[in-house]
A and B are shown apart, each in its own frame.
Chain A
Amino acid sequence: MKTINWKDVIKKAVIYLIVGSGALLMIVPFLWMLSSSLQTSHQVNLRPPVWFPNPPQWGNYQRILHYAPYFPRYFLNNIIVASVGTILELSTSILAAFAFSRLKFWGRDVVFYILLATMMIPAEIMLIPNFLTIVRLGWLDTYQALIIPWSASILSIFLLRQFFLGIPDSLSHAAKVDGCRNFRFLWAVMVPLARPALVTIALLSIISSWNAFLWPLIVTNSHNMRTLPLGLALFRGEAGTFFELLMAASVVVVLPMVILFVIMQKHIVASVSRSGLKG
Chain B
Amino acid sequence: MDVHLKNITMSFQSAGSNVIAVNNFSATIKSGEMVSLLGPSGCGKSTTLMMLAGLYRPTEGQIFFGDTDVTKVDAEKRGIGMVFQNYALYPHMSVYKNIMFPLKMMKVKKPEANKKVEEVARLVQIEHLLDRKPAQLSGGQQQRVAIARALVKEPKLLLLDEPLSNLDARLRLETREEIRRIQLKVGITAVFVTHDQEEAMSISDRIILMKDGLLQQVSPPQEMYRRPVNVFAAEFIGNPPINMLDNLPDYGGKLVGIRAEHFHVSDAGMFQGEVTHMETIGRDTLIRVTGANGVSVRTFADAETRVRLGDAVHLSVKPENIHVFDKTSGERVGEGA
Q: Which residues of A contact B (CB under 8 A)?
A: 168, 170-171, 173-181, 184, 188-189, 192-193
A177 & B55 in contact (Cβ 8 Å cutoff) = yes
Which parts of B68-105 form the interface with A (CB within 8 Å)? Answer: 74-77, 80-82, 84-86, 88-92, 101-102, 105
> What's the nearest-Cβ distance from chain A to residue B327, in Å?
42
Cα distance, A189 to B55, chains bound together (Å): 18
CB pair B101–A176 under 8 Å, yes or no, is no
Which of B50, B55, B91, B105 interacts with A178 by CB under 8 Å? B105
The answer to whether the Cβ of B106 comes within 8 Å of any Cβ in the partner chain is yes
Output the least CB separation between A188 and chain B (Å). 8
Whether a CB of chain A sits under 8 angstroms from the CB of B21 is no
Closest to B161 in A: A170
* Chain A residues whose CB sits within 8 angstroms of the CB of B50 once the complex forms: 173
CB distance from A273 to the nearest CB of B (A): 24
Q: Are A170 and B84 in contact (CB under 8 A)?
A: yes
Q: Quick one: closest A residue to B86, CB to CB?
A: A170
Q: Which residue of A lies closest to B101 (CB)?
A: A178
* Cα(A125)–Cα(B89), bound, Å: 47
The docked-state distance in angstroms from the alpha carbon of A189 to that of B134 is 14
Closest beta carbon of chain B to A166's beta carbon, Å: 12
A179 touches B76 (CB 8 A): yes
| Inter-subunit contact A173/B90 (CB<8 Å) | no
Known contacts A168-B88, A179-B102, A179-B106; A174 and B82 CB within 8 A of each other:
yes
Closest to A181 in B: B76
Provide the residues of chain B in CB contact with A176, threshold 8 Å.
Answer: 54-55, 74-76
Are A180 and B76 in touch, CB under 8 angstroms? yes
Which of B53, B77, B101 makes the CB contact (< 8 A) with A173?
A: B53
Within 8 A of A (CB), among B48-72: 50, 53-55
Least CB distance from B147 to A in Å reads: 12
Least Cβ–Cβ distance between B165 and chain A, in angstroms: 13
B positions within 8 Å CB-CB of A: 50, 53-55, 74-77, 80-82, 84-86, 88-92, 101-102, 105-106, 149-150, 153
> In the bound complex, what is the Cα–Cα distance between A193 and B88 (angstroms)?
13
What is the CB-to-nearest-CB distance from B128 to chain A, in angstroms, rounded to a whole number?
23
Least distance between A103 CB and chain B CB atoms (Å): 15
Pairwise interchain contact B105-A170, C-beta atoms closer than 8 A: no
Residues of B within 8 A of A192 (CB): 92
Docked Cα-Cα span, A235 to B106, in Å, equals: 60
> Nearest chain-A residue to B53 (Cβ)?
A177
Measured in the bound complex, the distance between the Cα atoms of B156 and A177 in whole Å is 13
**Which B residues lie within 8 Å of A173 (CB)?**
50, 53, 55, 75, 82, 84, 88
**A189 and B90 contact, CB distance less than 8 A:** yes
Complex contacts, A168 vs chain B, CB 8 Å? 86, 88
- Number of A-B contacts defined by CB within 8 Å: 63
| Docked pose: A150 CA to B130 CA in angstroms | 43
Task: Report chain A residues within 8 Å CB of B106.
Answer: 179
Q: Are B105 and A193 in contact (CB under 8 A)?
A: no
C-alpha gap A184/B107 in the complex (Å):
13
Residue of B80, B82, B88, B150 touching A171 (CB-CB under 8 A): B88
Q: How far is the CA of A31 from the CA of B63 in the complex (A)?
A: 74
- Return chain B residues, CB-CB under 8 Å to A184: 105
Nearest Cβ in chain A — how far from B120, in angstroms?
Answer: 14
Residue numbers in B under 8 Å from A179 (CB-CB): 76-77, 102, 105-106, 153
Q: Which residues of A contact B88 (CB under 8 A)?
A: 168, 170-171, 173-174
Contacts of A188 in B (CB 8 A): 90, 101
B218 to chain A, nearest CB (A): 25
User: What A residues does B75 contact at CB under 8 A?
Assistant: 173, 176-177
Measured CB to CB, the closest approach of chain A to B118, in angstroms, equals 18
Known: A177-B53, A178-B149. 7 other contacts (CB 8 A): A170-B88, A173-B55, A174-B82, A176-B54, A176-B76, A177-B75, A188-B90
Q: How far is the CA of A178 from the CA of B101 in the complex (A)?
A: 7
Q: Are B85 and A170 in contact (CB under 8 A)?
A: yes
Let me know if B80 and A177 touch, CB within 8 A: yes
A170 to B84, CA, bound (A): 7
Q: Which residue of A lies closest to B107 (CB)?
A: A179
Query: Which chain A residues lie closer than 8 Å to B92 at the CB level?
Result: 189, 192-193
List, in ascending order, chain B residues with CB within 8 A of A177's CB.
53-55, 75-76, 80-82, 102, 150
In the bound assembly, the distance between CA atoms of A168 and B149 in angstroms comes to 18
Q: How far is the CB of A193 from chain B (nearest CB, A)?
A: 6
Q: How far is the CA of A171 from the CA of B88 in the complex (A)?
A: 5
Counting chain A CB atoms within 10 Å of each CB, the highest count among B50, B55, B85, B150 belongs to B55
Residues of A within 8 A of B81 (CB): 177
Q: How far is the CB of B107 from chain A (nearest CB, A)?
A: 9
Bound together, the chains give a CA A170 to CA B49 distance in angstroms of 13
Give the complex CA separation of A171 and B84 in angstroms: 9
Q: Report the Cα distance A234→B160, complex, angstroms.
A: 68
Q: In the complex the two chains form, what is the Cα distance from A173 to B83 in whole Å?
A: 10
- The CA-CA distance from A85 to B251 in the complex, in Å, is 82
Kindly list chain A residues whose C-beta atoms are within 8 Å of the C-beta of B53. Answer: 173, 177
Q: Is the CB of B84 within 8 A of A174?
A: yes
How far is B82's CA from A179's CA once the two chains are assembled, in angstroms?
Answer: 11
A193 CA / B91 CA spacing, docked (Å): 8
